[in-house]
Amino acid sequence: MPNLLHLDSSVDPTNSRSRAITRTFADAWRQCSPAHTVTYRDLHSAPLPHFPDPWLHWPARVRPAEAVVAPDAEALRDSLIAELCAADVVLIGAPMYNYSLPSTLKAWIDYIHIPGITALYDGNVQPMAGRPAVVVNSRGAMYDVGTPTEGWDHGTPVLDLILGSSLGMTMRNITANLTLADFVPMLADFIDRGNDEFAQAHAAAAALAVELGSA
């Protein structure tokens, strides 16, 4: 059965645009067929503990003899990796906070990006290689070429690097800018553009879910 792993990380359960867009994708995915399943994880309402031990970042086979890792921490890491590897498509709601990722999403990355298990290290191990990762980026302002904030988005590149380059996944990004245009006075002139991008992101999410769900 085609399985979607759906992750949300916005701190706003009601008005979040990233959550709204990922919900559109997940709903369209379910409508592809009764066999299309969704595994959902809300990283904000049920946050993962911060990575507790540096040796968790490595497989047991390469750790030094003196390394001692708490069994419950390793079990959590392994369960998150198993959940990831069971997904045919990964959907991530990634709002930009302080020009980077939500800390809850970074914690998830720490658990699933393990050289020699999910990423290349001592052999050709990339179980997620070629599988699609759909990242919904919501950003409060705009980051166009030539604007004062050009290049200030340090969240999207991290996900492209970790999921795309390191895990070998096929990246599909959906971006909605100006999510704060109706709240921040200095962005008021761009409310229409923000609403247009939001609508376009919904349409893109629905279409991409059908495309990937039919593949």
Closest CA relative to residue 93, chosen from 136, 133, 132, 134:
136
Token pair belonging to 163:
């999921």
Q: 145, 202, 212: which is closest to 175 by C-alpha?
A: 202
- Express as a percent the part of the chain with pLDDT over 70: 100
Question: Is the pLDDT score of 169 beyond 90?
Answer: yes
> H helices then E strands: how many in the chain?
5, 5
pLDDT tens-digit readout, 179-208:
999 999 999 999 999 999 999 999 999 999
Q: Please say if the pLDDT value at position 147 is more than 90.
A: no
Quote the pLDDT of residue 151: 94
Q: How far is the C-alpha of 169 from the C-alpha of 161, rounded, in Å?
A: 10
Does residue 124 register a pLDDT over 90? no
Confidence at residue 132, expressed as pLDDT on a 0 to 100 scale = 98
Bridge partners for 42 per DSSP:
8
Query: Degrees (nearest 5) of the Cα angle 51, 56, 62?
Result: 160
Per-residue confidence (pLDDT) for residue 123, from 0 to 100: 80
User: 52-73 pLDDT, tens per residue?
Assistant: 999 999 999 999 999 999 999 9
Q: What is the mean pLDDT of residues 146-174?
A: 96
CA distance 170 to 165: 9
Which residues, in sequence order, are bridge partners of residue 8? 42
CATH of 3-213, one of 3.40.50.360, 3.40.50.9100, 3.30.457.10, 3.10.129.10: 3.40.50.360
